[in-house]
Amino acid sequence: MLTVRIAPWRRLALLALLPHLFLSAAAVVARQCLWPGQASDDAGCLSWRVMVEANNARGWRTVPPQCVGYVSGYMTRGQYQRDVAGVAEQARAYADGVAADADGLDAWVFDIDDTCLSNLLYYEAKQFGAYDPLAFRAWASREACPGIHPVLGLFTTLLDKGFKVFLLSGRDEETLGSCTAANLEAQGFSGYERLIMRTPEYRGQSSSIFKSAVRKQLVDEGYRIRGNVGDQWSDLQGDCAGDRVFKIPNPMYFVP
């Protein structure tokens, strides 16, 4: 009689416990879930990411080890996509206020890697570790870099508005020229004025020096650089940077 009376209590206790077990498991999975005032590694990694975007943190070699998971989450769970779309929208709003002249000399400059084409899959596979030129060349040669959609939308809008678009990349022209052109074409980046890549004379020079020299050359040819879009500050500073620059987010690596 006693055992019969206790059994329903046990069943009830189990029933009462189950939702708590479920909620606890969900809380462990939900890494973004913080109560007010609670901090986490993510808060420090958010500080670091914003410092990168504001050009306060410079010359870093790899993502800080404690932020690899954060950067991976940032890049793949929606915030990166939102951020890129926001920057493209700012650029579009600015472009709406600039009329391209009939002389065909109003220009925009776009970087390629992680501006037009994404290397996220490559860097994820490398755990956002040190740059590896041979492995990167193998990756780029596959012509498999996905296009970055909001930037493609901006690119197309600018062409429609009559701007001349120059694609300017630190990739080596000799080894990666044709596969880069094919990858761009396959991802919808066509109709640009010129694809300019690193020539042997600039091998070993910083991206900043190479890109400044190319932009100066464009200005000497008579082009007016109205806008300049890149994921690295070295794309956006130096000589003839452009009337306005747009920084596409990139917490994966730093190029001087």
Residues lying near a copy of itself in the complex (CB under 8 A) are found at 8-9, 12, 15-16, 19-20, 23, 26, 29-37, 39, 43-44, 46-51, 53-58, 77-79, 82-83, 85-87, 90, 245-247, 249
- Return the amino acid letter for 46: L
Q: Minimum CB separation from a copy of itself for residue 188, in Å?
A: 23
Q: Minimum CB separation from a copy of itself for residue 54, in Å?
A: 4
Q: Which of 80, 180, 170 is nearest to 131 (CA)?
A: 170
> Which lies closer to a copy of itself via its Cβ, residue 27 or residue 182?
27
Core vs surface per residue 9-38: b (16+ CB within 10 A) or e: eeeeeeeeeeeeeeeeeeeeeeeeeeeeee
Distances (CA, A) of 248 to 21, 129, 198, 221: 42, 20, 21, 27
**Token pair of 41 as six digits:** 């590694």
* Residue 58 CB contacts under 8 Å (≥ 6 apart), including other chains: 233, 254, 256
* Residue 183 CB contacts under 8 Å (≥ 6 apart), including other chains: 117, 140, 143, 144, 145
Q: Which of 126, 135, 205 is nearest to 170 (CA)?
A: 205
> Which lies closer to a copy of itself via its Cβ, residue 23 or residue 182?
23
3-state secondary structure of 117: strand
Phi, psi of 13 (to 5 degrees): -60, -40
Q: Minimum CB separation from a copy of itself for residue 215, in Å?
A: 18
> Which lies closer to a copy of itself via its Cβ, residue 213 or residue 241?
241
Q: Report residue 68 CA to chain centroid gap.
A: 15
Q: Minimum CB separation from a copy of itself for residue 237, in Å?
A: 10
Q: Residue 95 and residue 55: Cα distance in Å, rounded?
A: 24
What's the half-sphere exposure (Cβ side, CA atoms, 13 Å) at 99?
Answer: 3
> Which lies closer to a copy of itself via its Cβ, residue 20 or residue 204?
20
> Which lies closer to a copy of itself via its Cβ, residue 43 or residue 135?
43
Q: Minimum CB separation from a copy of itself for residue 248, in Å?
A: 9
Q: Minimum CB separation from a copy of itself for residue 87, in Å?
A: 5
> Which lies closer to a copy of itself via its Cβ, residue 20 or residue 61?
20
Q: Minimum CB separation from a copy of itself for residue 26, in Å?
A: 7
> Which lies closer to a copy of itself via its Cβ, residue 68 or residue 85?
85
